[in-house]
Each structure stands twice: as C-alpha cells, then as structure tokens.
C-alpha cells in the first residue's frame, strides 16, 4: 500500500506531536471508490472525531491516523480487509415475496431491512435482486469486497477525555437501514 503524506502544522499545536492509540483526533476526510466516485466526505459537514485505535472506524483509518502530526494529510488505497471487509456469499439468502408482504414490506432493490433472526439478533440486510416470486437479501456491507481510496487531514489532537461529537468515520453507525419504509 502506498501512502501519500503532506504536512504543514498550524501554529497553535506542538508541530511534532504524533497521534498515538487512545488519542482523540479531529479529521477531515474524503473517500472514493476505485472508479473515482466520491462516496463519503466530511468537507461539507463537521470534521469527525474518534479515538485512535478504537473500533469505531474501519481498520485502515486507524492505520492512517496513527503517527500523523497536526496539519498532515495522508492518502491511501485501502484493500477490502482494511476497509469494509471481504464479501461473504454466505450472508446472502433468498426469500419469498409473500414472506416480505406478511411483514408489511414492499420489496424494492436497495431497500435496507433489519431482520430479526430466530436467536433474537438483528441482521441488517439489503434487497439486491427481485426475481419473480423470490427476493435476494444481502447481509454484507454495500462496500464489502471493495478497495477504497481515503484521504485524511489531521486537524487536531484533542484531550482524550474530552467528549467526542458522536460521529464515526466509516463506522457501522453510517449504515442506513430501514424497517418497513422506503429509502
């Protein structure tokens, strides 16, 4: 993996302080698919805060941010194992349309569902195919199995005990799921 890095630390921070695990960091980021299409960015919203080394972000984000200094920018192509994981075919299944109808769900490709399994756990799934009387559900993240390009700009290293704003860069909390609703 090649990482591109640039740096120009602001005056208010100690310029040589590097991010360590457990540091609360504030970053701007952009993320692209391999075809160049931007799929996520903080540039039109608030910067994101997270604790470096924790599992609130995908592994590649932690790999990128550890060791950065304030003002530094890093860009890297993350393989699936450092992004949203590999694609697992066993997380797909086919169900009858009438089963969804009984749940008051009008099937449409792209519709996210929270399915309550027999063991009382929720499985988030997306309808990926409609075929006659059958519907294909996929429990993989929509970006599973894909490499992504990420640019991180480290804005601040904050006091690790300060409260984060609750946002997560590329975390599970970013998944849009709907139960019995359209997108």
Sheet holding 112-116, edge to edge: 92-96, 134-138, 122-131, 112-116
* Within-domain flag for 72: yes
Q: What is the CATH number of the domain that holds 52?
A: 3.10.50.40
Same domain for 30 and 60: yes
How many domains in the chain?
2
* Within-domain flag for 167: no
Same domain for 74 and 42: yes
pLDDT of 130? 96
Same domain for 151 and 79: yes
* Within-domain flag for 25: yes
Same domain for 73 and 123: no
Contact of 28 with 43, CB cutoff 8 Å: yes
Contact of 70 with 12, CB cutoff 8 Å: no
* Within-domain flag for 111: yes
Domain of 36? 3-85+143-160
Q: What is the CATH number of the domain that holds 108?
A: 2.40.10.330
Distance, in Å, from the CA atom of 117 to the CA atom of 69, rounded to the nearest integer, reads: 45
pLDDT of 176? 35
Same domain for 78 and 156: yes
* Within-domain flag for 177: no
pLDDT of 173? 35
pLDDT of 16? 78
Same domain for 147 and 58: yes
Per-residue pLDDT tens for 25-70? 999 999 999 999 999 999 888 999 999 999 999 999 999 999 999 9
* Within-domain flag for 12: yes
Spell out, as residue ranges, where the chain has pLDDT lower than 70: 1-15, 159-183
Same domain for 14 and 79: yes
Same domain for 104 and 148: no
* Within-domain flag for 57: yes
* Within-domain flag for 30: yes
Outline where DSSP puts E strands in the chain: 3-6, 24-33, 38-41, 48-51, 73-78, 92-96, 112-116, 122-131, 134-138, 148-158
Same domain for 73 and 114: no
């Amino acid at each position: 993996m090649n990482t591109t890095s640039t740096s120009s630390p602001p005056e208010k921070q100690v310029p040589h302080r590097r991010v360590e695990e457990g540091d609360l960091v504030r970053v701007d980021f952009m993320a692209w698919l391999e075809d160049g299409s931007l799929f996520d960015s903080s540039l039109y919203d608030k910067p994101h805060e997270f604790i470096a080394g924790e599992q609130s972000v995908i592994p590649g984000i932690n790999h990128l941010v550890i060791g950065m200094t304030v003002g530094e920018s890093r860009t890297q192509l993350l393989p699936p194992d450092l992004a949203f994981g590999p694609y697992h075919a066993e997380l797909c299944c086919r169900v009858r349309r009438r089963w969804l109808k009984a749940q008051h769900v009008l099937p449409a490709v792209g519709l996210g569902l929270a399915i309550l399994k027999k063991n009382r756990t929720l499985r988030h799934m997306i309808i990926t195919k409609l075929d006659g009387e059958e519907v294909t559900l996929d429990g993989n993240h929509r970006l599973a199995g894909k490499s992504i390009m990420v640019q991180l700009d480290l804005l601040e290293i904050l006091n690790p005990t300060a409260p984060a704003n609750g946002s997560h860069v590329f975390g599970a909390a970013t998944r849009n799921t709907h139960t019995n609703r359209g997108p």
